């Protein structure tokens, strides 16, 4: 990724005791050309240290500090405490300056991308899609709030009779952070009087998804994205998908296959023999054969997350279910259950030849099983 820049490198003096304050003041004072220059960070009182070492350390420490939930800019996702999302109540933590923090963080993340520096980062998968300008889907909500996701799935799959029983209107619940209660928000004008039915439920799902993923954090998201684009134009990021962007920023995930096996349960036609079933043996041999990138894609295909840490696999068991060819010929998944269904293939080659295109298709193979 090459960006045109004029002039030599830019040096920043940062006091460790005031890491965030000094970093924010410096980064937000930079011109467009400054943002494109090579950055070198020097910690006050440590002038004899190698500047490249200090710079690498600064990127790690400032990102870790700003992204940590205790800081108040981000919070753990309800579905997985190991993954973070933008804190809708960040203004209460930083009443006068919370948006400046997001703009500065965006610039730092953009700079890390342009200089190919890995930074500690546990942002939710959908935030990478937002950086790329990709549309969000119902599956993205599952990573933030499984209860809300499962509710919207039940609406999506409901027939007219079931929708009548649900007695839904065009409203959503917004958390009230001042009293820990909830406020009712109309998704459209007069939404409290509009009943959800089979004709308008798609619109209800679209508006609900936009509300829960975007509306509550729209100002913060806007500043974060503008910060990234201050360094790297959005058009230059369009060649990546969200998994590639995450890998560029955080480095490829290291997946412990032994740990993955340890937290796997077996059901259906695999329940009796478990990992000793020939198809299961072939599956794990294929996983061992895959490189890290392909293992991450397989895990993403089944669970919605590309790492064991992101999935908190210990608390959400990975399940492999054996089924007959009458049920399906290709592998099927249910991401909300971390479930992979495999037919009783007759050879490892057949398993591999059906698994690879399924991973490539991705969400297209999701069958809501």
Residue 322 pLDDT > 80, yes or no? yes
Residue 177 pLDDT > 60, yes or no? no
Residue 165 pLDDT > 60, yes or no? yes
Residue 154 pLDDT > 80, yes or no? yes
Torsion over CA of 227, 96, 24 and 310, rounded to 10 degrees? -60
Section 165-185 average pLDDT: 78
pLDDT above 70: percentage of residues in the chain: 89
Residue 272 pLDDT > 60, yes or no? yes
Of 187-201, 238-252, 264-278, 297-311, the range with the lowest mean pLDDT is: 297-311
DSSP 140-157: HHHTT-HHHHHHHHHHHH
Q: How many CA atoms lie within 13 A of 253 on its CB side?
A: 24
Question: From CA 365, how far away is CA 369, in angstroms rounded?
Answer: 11
**Are the C-beta atoms of residues 77 and 83 closer than 8 Å to each other?**
yes
Question: From CA 31, how far away is CA 137, in angstroms rounded?
Answer: 36
Residue 299 pLDDT > 50, yes or no? yes
Section 338-359 average pLDDT: 90
Q: Note the pLDDT tens digit of each residue in 213-238.
A: 888 899 999 999 999 999 999 888 88
Strand ranges inside 246-338, DSSP E? 264-268, 318-323, 332-334
Of 100-109, 190-199, 254-263, the range with the lowest mean pLDDT is: 254-263
Q: Considering just the CA atoms, what is the radius of gyration of the chain in Å?
A: 23
The residues near 294 (Cβ < 8 Å, ≥ 6 apart) are 359
Res 260: pLDDT: 87
Residue 176 pLDDT > 80, yes or no? no
Q: 3-class SS at 93?
A: helix
**Confidence bin at 2 (pLDDT 50/70/90):** very low
Q: State the average pLDDT for the chain.
A: 85
Q: How many CA atoms lie within 13 A of 251 on its CB side?
A: 9
Pick from 155, 346, 116: nearest CA to 247: 116
Residue 4 pLDDT > 90, yes or no? no
Question: From CA 316, how far away is CA 338, in angstroms rounded?
Answer: 7
Count of residues in the chain: 369
Instruction: Give the single-character DSSP code of 69.
Output: G
Residue 188 pLDDT > 60, yes or no? yes
**Confidence bin at 363 (pLDDT 50/70/90):** very low
Res 73: pLDDT: 94
Pick from 28, 45, 32, 34: nearest CA to 11: 34
């Amino acid at each position: 990724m090459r960006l045109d820049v004029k002039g030599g490198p830019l040096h920043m003096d940062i006091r460790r005791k005031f890491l965030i304050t000094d970093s924010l003041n410096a980064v937000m004072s930079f011109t467009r050309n400054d943002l494109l220059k090579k950055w070198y960070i020097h910690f006050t009182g440590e002038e004899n240290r190698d500047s490249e070492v200090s710079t690498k350390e600064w990127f790690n420490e400032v990102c870790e500090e700003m992204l940590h939930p205790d800081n108040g800019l981000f919070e753990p996702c309800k579905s997985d405490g190991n993954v973070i999302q933008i804190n809708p109540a960040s203004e209460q933590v930083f009443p006068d300056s919370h948006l400046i923090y997001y703009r500065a963080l965006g610039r730092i993340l953009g700079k890390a991308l342009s200089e190919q520096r890995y930074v500690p980062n546990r942002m939710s998968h959908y935030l990478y899609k937002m950086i790329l300008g990709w549309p969000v889907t119902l599956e993205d909500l599952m990573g933030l709030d499984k209860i809300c996701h499962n509710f919207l799935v039940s609406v999506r799959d409901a027939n007219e009779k079931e929708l009548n029983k649900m007695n839904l209107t065009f409203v959503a619940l917004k958390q009230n952070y001042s009293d820990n209660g909830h406020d009712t928000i109309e998704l459209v004008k007069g939404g409290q009087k509009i009943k959800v039915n089979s004709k308008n439920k798609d619109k209800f799902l679209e508006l609900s998804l936009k509300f829960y993923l975007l509306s509550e954090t729209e100002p913060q998201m806007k500043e974060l994205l503008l910060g990234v684009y201050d360094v790297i134009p959005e058009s230059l990021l369009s060649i990546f998908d969200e998994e590639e962007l995450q890998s560029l920023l955080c480095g490829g995930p290291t997946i412990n296959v032994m740990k993955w096996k340890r937290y796997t349960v077996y059901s259906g036609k695999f329940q009796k023999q478990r990992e000793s079933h020939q198809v299961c043996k072939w599956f794990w041999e294929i996983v061992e054969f895959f490189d890290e990138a392909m293992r991450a894609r397989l895990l993403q295909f089944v669970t919605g997350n590309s790492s064991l840490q992101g999935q908190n696999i210990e608390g959400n068991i990975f399940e492999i279910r054996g089924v007959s060819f009458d049920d399906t010929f290709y592998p099927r998944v249910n991401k909300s259950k971390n479930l992979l269904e495999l037919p009783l293939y007759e050879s490892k080659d057949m398993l591999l030849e059906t698994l690879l295109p399924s991973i490539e298709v991705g969400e297209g193979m999701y069958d809501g099983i």
